[in-house]
Amino acid sequence: MTQRPLLMGMVGGGTGAFIGAVHRVAATLDGQARFVAGSLSSTPDKAVASGLELGLARDRAYPTWQAMLSAELQRPPGERVDFVSIVTPNHAHFEPAHAFVQAGFHVVLDKPMVLDSAQAATLADAVAKAGVVFGVTYNYTGYPLVKEAARLVRTGALGQVRKVIVEYHQGWLATPLEASGQKQAAWRTDPKLSGAGALGDIGSHAENLLTTITGLSIESLCAEATTFVAGRRVDDDAAVLLRLSGGARGVLSCSQVCVGSENDLRIRVHGTLGSLAWRQENPNELRLVTHDAAPRIITRAGPEAAHTAHA
């Protein structure tokens, strides 16, 4: 059988959306997927118009995700979408994700996955019963040198991990931007739409980076979540002390009120034999320090990086 590109559908992410175009480009960049169907807005007319503007066939630019699900199920295998990317605001994740999973479609979902643990458990159960692939877009762990950092930890280059410090700082919400009507700020600071503040929005990325690189799990924590901007209804800053598996300790700091910070995600891992440091704003360099050698800068295509970093 000749291998064909996977057929991709999308819910949300139409004209004027924040992240939809990023996901479409990322999914189709290597030619292994084609964007063929979508319901790209919660407003039906806009959903159809966005689909047509992006080159979808008229019968696959759907007014609602429910119409998309129904119509795609009528198509024979090989013509219907293989997977659906859901890029809506947080409150609109669960219902379409659950419905597409139950219908047997693979799903790629933005983070945070859903609004509460009950929704998460329901969705996990549906995925297990359907036997589909379900992915959450923690995109930062796809960087080549994040993979290299994880390899170094797993192969013992740092010895036993003792301390992990992970930070994710932004400054875009240092003022009450949501009061101006800015769309992203408005829904991200509305607890009914976002489900959480800085901890859910960017702290989830920091936690995922920590666990991906170290392979350790969080066993207990002590946290302080703070709202600095008056009138804001969600946390905009948080500090978390972590007890990790294997006896390691960690610190997680996330904030969206750090003036001058843009998208500053970084991690430091300290072990008995050495330490490493990586920063998202300089993603093609990884700093490694060990007892027996001078500090080294590993680059994405450099000779010291394993094949996992040559991407």
Residues 26-40: pLDDT tens digits? Answer: 999 999 999 999 999
Q: For helices 117-130 and 94-102, give the axis angle rounded to 10 degrees.
A: 20
Domain finish residue from 86, 110, 137: 137
d(CA 85, CA 109): 6
d(CA 300, CA 311): 8
Give me the chain's average pLDDT, please.
95
Residue 267 lies in a domain: yes
* Exposed e or buried b per residue across 1-10, where buried means at least 16 C-beta atoms within 10 angstroms of its C-beta: eeeeeebbbb
Residue 195 lies in a domain: yes
Domain identity same for 303 and 169: yes
Q: In the prediction, which pLDDT does 18 show?
A: 85
Average pLDDT over residues 244-263: 98
Domain identity same for 53 and 151: no
Q: Are 145 and 117 in contact (CB under 8 A)?
A: no
CATH of residue 130 = 3.40.50.720
Domain identity same for 108 and 172: no
Tokens of 116: 């509460």
Domain identity same for 90 and 18: yes
In one-letter notation, the amino acid at residue 5 is: P
Q: In the prediction, which pLDDT does 308 show?
A: 63
Domain identity same for 60 and 168: no
Q: 138: burial class by Cβ within 10 Å (0-12, 13-18, 19+)? A: middle
Average pLDDT over residues 236-255: 99
Total structural domains in the chain? Answer: 2
Domain identity same for 124 and 179: no
Q: Which helix (H) or strand (E) holds 170?
A: none
Average pLDDT over residues 125-143: 96
Q: In the prediction, which pLDDT does 17 show?
A: 87
Q: Are 224 and 141 in contact (CB under 8 A)?
A: no
Q: Which domain holds residue 187?
A: 140-309
pLDDT of 74 strictly over 60: yes
Angstrom distances, CA of residue 39 to CA of 18, 45, 49, 106: 15, 10, 10, 16
Domain finish residue from 137, 170, 198: 137
Domain identity same for 52 and 168: no
- Cβ-proximal residues to 300 (8 Å cutoff; 6+ apart), any chain: 144, 145, 284, 309, 310, 311
pLDDT of 1 strictly over 60: no
Kindly report the pTM of this predicted structure: 0.90
d(CA 245, CA 217): 5
Angstrom distances, CA of residue 151 to CA of 11, 70, 157: 35, 43, 9
Average pLDDT over residues 1-28: 90
Average pLDDT over residues 60-64: 98
Average pLDDT over residues 265-289: 98
Average pLDDT over residues 266-273: 99
Q: Which of 14-18, 82-86, 138-142 has the highest mean pLDDT?
A: 82-86
Domain identity same for 261 and 243: yes
Residue 1 lies in a domain: no
- pLDDT, one tens digit per residue, over 188-233 is 999 999 999 999 999 999 999 999 999 999 999 999 999 999 999 9
Q: Are 86 and 107 in contact (CB under 8 A)?
A: yes
Domain identity same for 172 and 290: yes
d(CA 191, CA 202): 15
pLDDT band at 162 (very low <50, low <70, confident <90, very high): very high
d(CA 166, CA 81): 38
Q: Are 274 and 291 in contact (CB under 8 A)?
A: yes
Domain identity same for 36 and 168: no
